[in-house]
Structure 1
Amino acid sequence: MKYGQIIIEENEFLILENLFKLKKEEHSKTAKNHILKLLYELKNAVILPESEMPKDVIRLNSQVQISSKDNLWTKIFELVLPHQSNVAENKISLLLPMGTAVLGYAKGDDILWEFPSGLKELKVIDVQQFLKVLK
């Protein structure tokens, strides 16, 4: 990991906290492994103000290019809040397995993450910031 642990911008961290509080009952009954792993990683995350955020860290509204470690596929998508998710527009919710896998990682990072289809190794190829007003 480039920065040693995941990095989250402080306003986005508050959004995540509120999102998980709203969904707490749902998560406690049907907790998915990818959500639990993200919650665990958030406990150890570095929380930074906007002005100190590295430009190569994946955050909300980032355009992300990842590939499988075996180079069998590459994906480009924008990481968004759940209500903005639209697979046809390559907008992936941060609560989907791919979204939870990449949040807080940086360009060049390798990620080992449990997906419904099994354990996958990913490589972050590129990160572009397209910051928008968070709603």
Structure 2
Amino acid sequence: MKYGSLILEKKEFVTLKRLLNLSGNYKDASRKNSVLRLQNELESAIVSNEDEMPDDVIRFNSEVTIVSSDGWENSFQLVSPTESNFSHKKLSVLTPMGLAVMGYAKGDVIDWEFPGGAKSLKVTEVKQIKTKSNQIQL
């Protein structure tokens, strides 16, 4: 891990904790395990002010490119659940993939359990996208 721990901006940290607490019932074990793992990782996360956030850390609205160890590549924008739109490559932070990448940085390798099995993912690109309101919508 590039920075030794997940890094989150203060407001996004609070929003993410709230979303995780509200997400409640899990229909599959993989999603439940993903939520529990992220909650555990948040306990040791570095929480920073907006102006101290590194540009290469995955956060709300970041455009992310990942490559799996078996050669699969995917790019998406990480968004709140209300903004999720598969056809526009906007992925909710509450999906297993969203839960896996939040707070990691470009160059990090993430070993995560997905519904289809364990995958090793490498973050190859992170681009920060500023929204009109620059706020997270719930």
Structure 1 length-normalised TM: 0.91
Question: Secondary structure, in 3 states, of the residue corresponding to 2:20?
Answer: helix
Question: Secondary structure, in 3 states, of the residue corresponding to 1:111?
Answer: strand
1:62-81 mapped onto 2 (5 Å cutoff): 62-70=62-70, 72-81=71-80
What is the CA–CA distance in structure 2 between the aligned matches of 1:88 and 1:121, rounded to whole Å?
25
| Preserved contact between residue 10 and residue 50 of structure 1 (Cα < 8 Å) | yes
Alignment length (residue pairs) = 131
Aligned twin of 1:109: 108
What is the CA–CA distance in structure 1 between the aligned matches of 2:87 and 2:43, rounded to whole Å?
33
| Preserved contact between residue 66 and residue 126 of structure 1 (Cα < 8 Å) | yes
Cα-to-partner distance string for 1:43-101 (whole Å, 9 max, x where unaligned) = 1110001000000000000000000123x211010000011111110000001000001
1:39-118 mapped onto 2 (5 Å cutoff): 39-70=39-70, 72-118=71-117
> What is the RMSD computed on CA atoms of the aligned residues?
1.4
| Preserved contact between residue 60 and residue 131 of structure 1 (Cα < 8 Å) | no
What is the CA–CA distance in structure 1 between the aligned matches of 2:92 and 2:73, rounded to whole Å?
18
Structure 2 length-normalised TM: 0.89
Aligned twin of 2:119: 120
Aligned twin of 1:32: 32
Between the aligned residues of both structures, percent identity stands at 50
Task: Give structure 2 stretches of 5+ with no counterpart.
Answer: none
